[in-house]
Chains A and B, each alone.
Chain A
Amino acid sequence: MSQTSKPCPDQDKQKKINKKTISQWIEERLPVFSMIQREYIRFPMPRNLNIWWTFGAVLTVVLVLMLATGIFLAMSYTPSAEGAFASIEMIERRVPSGWLLRSLHMAGSNLFLAFLYLHIFRGLYYGSYKNPRELVWFSGLFLMLMVMMTAFAGYILPWGQMSYWAANVVIQAISSIPWIGEGLAHWLMGGSSPNDLTLHRYFVLHFVMAFLIIGVVFIHVVCLHFVKSNNPKGIEPKTKEETLPFYPYYVAKDAVVIVVSLLLLILLAFLFPDLLTNSENYTPANPLETPANIAPEWYFLPFYGILQLIPFKFLGLVLSAGSLLILFAVPWLDRSSIKSATYRPLYRLSLFILLIAFVILGIVGKYHTHGGLIWLGRLALLYYYLHFLMILPFSHRFELKRTLPVSLLDDDKGAKS
């Protein structure tokens, strides 16, 4: 008895070992700790990444924000034609902090698409889709399509005038597909016009997609960590000196951009909510009254613009969907061995014209332009496809390439020549 009550140094030591072995115990069965060490602490990143490589981290944070707010909004939402609008009013007026959750969710969706477009543009500019990163590119594009689908479904849910008529525009577009169009539209909407069934379906779609997106994000990140990040120079690091560990360098850098995008979120959600919301959507859906100006959210404007530019509905639909789907072919269309546009003057120029064309298409979508602007829009659309089908496959044959640096440590001035 007296012996056991005495503090025994051996026992203390034993306890310490036991404590240590809890993490070891887990580690031996599921190596999460070494995984975090390997993938998020020691993980080698190219040392020359610029701000364009932070948007992936921002997107992850925005996704978490969307889920966190969305789940609680779903708890108070009624997905029926009779009750949807009233339940949004209830969330806005009576659910404690409901207006706050909804403001964040709405502003968050805008930031999500904005950063997604920037992220994809980064990929195009620095050739992040090239060998060996094709799967990163494909999973990313897949995510983009899923996010767009989710955003579209989400916009229908409040069942305001714009929700209803935006859904109607999509029905019209889909039903223009020869042979199967009418049936497909009917099947997707549960009727010949948006209705109660549509709302139920799109609510489920919106909710389920959000979680499927997490799964695809996981695949996207696993793919990326296997092949490692591209960088502004577009050459692979060969030595340890050309890389920096993820922690603390890129954690610190991502943090700055994440916090700054939070500032943007606050501005949009609390101080300038009118900038991004169409007030027309606070009028309940009315199938008998077409609004004077049907316009989708800004992030769909270029694709809506393409629909308007083409007098034949089905062709419009093909070109509009094609403008997104063509991105999947980019790894094969681009025949140049140089990744970064920095060293491809002609390609870079074309990419900026592409960006301008994209904006013009958006303006067409917004203002339903007539006459001269329609032709400018068609020119923009032509250039959009020209870039992908002509410039990407053939520019490398006659463009004056700039000399690639040998190492990421090289001074850029040395690379000029």
Chain B
Amino acid sequence: MMEITRKLTFKAIGLLIVMFSLNVAGYAERVATDKNSYPKYPWSFSGIFGSYDLSSVQRGYLVYRKSCASCHSTEYMRYADLQQMGLTLDQIDKMAKTDQILDGKDAQGKDHYRPATVVDYIPSPYANKLVAQSVNMGKVPLDLSRYAMTVDGQADYIMAILLGYTKSPVDFKLDQDGLYYNRYFPGHQIAMRPPLVKGGVQYTDGTNTTIEQQAKDVTTFLSWTAHPHLIERHRIGIMALIYVAFIAVLTFIIKRKVWSNVK
């Protein structure tokens, strides 16, 4: 009797776990379809032990400012947030000072610009959505704050798009001027011009500035902006897991001891 009850109990728990893991199934499915459509890269930040190569994040920031930030925003980031990628406030302050940001009106009622400081938001390329729309074929360029998290395919997709610009096949006609052929973009017609140019950015650490390297670095940077606390989160998670597992063993031993005199 007890045996059957126990078996069925486990089955019941199992079924509820099925419920609980419906999202897991969806997640696995998403990963599986991604695998088929574009190349997979062994990103250092994937998996539960994943971590960022901070020098790559920093290089990616340079690429981002040079090649992406002229059209795309990272609306929710302040300069000071860049500390998380391994920079000191002084270093960030120096970088921020090179940007001019709009700061209300001056005494004559004209727009007042001043050098940015660490507490400012990283400026968006357009004054407002309408301007952004009008110069980009009617569509506001995506905000990249969380893009590496929200887009299907995530880092691999971004990498694929950045490296996916090729000559269009002979039988393929682009709908209008200003569109580019990209083998990984859905529909293959993308309004974003190829953003990366060989040697288009100056790396201070002497890393090669090939398009592949820039794409890898900027993808790493965008993944970092989407999950800025990933390193800390994984570190705390694993430490807490070990600690609580230890406590679990202790409480189990205590429970066994307390119950040892119950027949």
User: With A342-B5, A412-B1 in contact, is A359–B15 under 8 Å at CB?
Assistant: yes
- Which of B36-44, B52-60, B74-82 is the contact stretch? B74-82
Q: Tell me how many residues of B have a C-beta within 8 Å of chain A.
A: 50
Pick from A92, A114, A366: contact of B22, CB below 8 A: A366
B16 within 8 A of A: yes
In the assembled complex, the CB of B60 is this many whole angstroms from the nearest CB of chain A, namely 17
Interface residues of A in 101-153 (CB under 8 A from B): 103, 110, 114, 117-118, 121, 125
Inter-chain CA distance A253–B238, complex, in Å, is 25
Least CB separation from B5: chain A residue: A342
Are B15 and A263 interface neighbours, CB within 8 A?
no
Inter-chain CA distance A114–B20, complex, in Å, is 7
Please, which residues of chain B bring their CB within 8 A of the CB of A272? 48
Least CB separation from B3: chain A residue: A412
Please, which residues of chain A bring their CB within 8 A of the CB of B238? 270-271
In the assembled complex, the CB of B97 is this many whole angstroms from the nearest CB of chain A, namely 21
Residues of A in contact with B, size category: 35 or more
A99 within 8 A of B: yes
Are B150 and A283 interface neighbours, CB within 8 A?
yes
The digit string for B148-180, where 1 denotes a CB below 8 A from any CB of A, is 011000000000000000000000000000000
Interface of B is mostly: helix
A321 within 8 A of B: no
Are A121 and B23 interface neighbours, CB within 8 A?
no
Are B241 and A99 interface neighbours, CB within 8 A?
no
Please, which residues of chain A bring their CB within 8 A of the CB of B208? none
User: With A267-B241, A412-B2 in contact, is A352–B236 under 8 Å at CB?
Assistant: no
Pick from B13, B248, B254: contact of A252, CB below 8 A: B254
Are A402 and B251 interface neighbours, CB within 8 A?
no
Inter-chain CA distance A355–B14, complex, in Å, is 11
The digit string for B237-263, where 1 denotes a CB below 8 A from any CB of A, is 110110011011001101100110010
Please, which residues of chain B bring their CB within 8 A of the CB of A363? 22
Are A415 and B237 interface neighbours, CB within 8 A?
no
B9 within 8 A of A: yes
Inter-chain CA distance A90–B75, complex, in Å, is 11
In the assembled complex, the CB of B76 is this many whole angstroms from the nearest CB of chain A, namely 4
Are B248 and A415 interface neighbours, CB within 8 A?
no
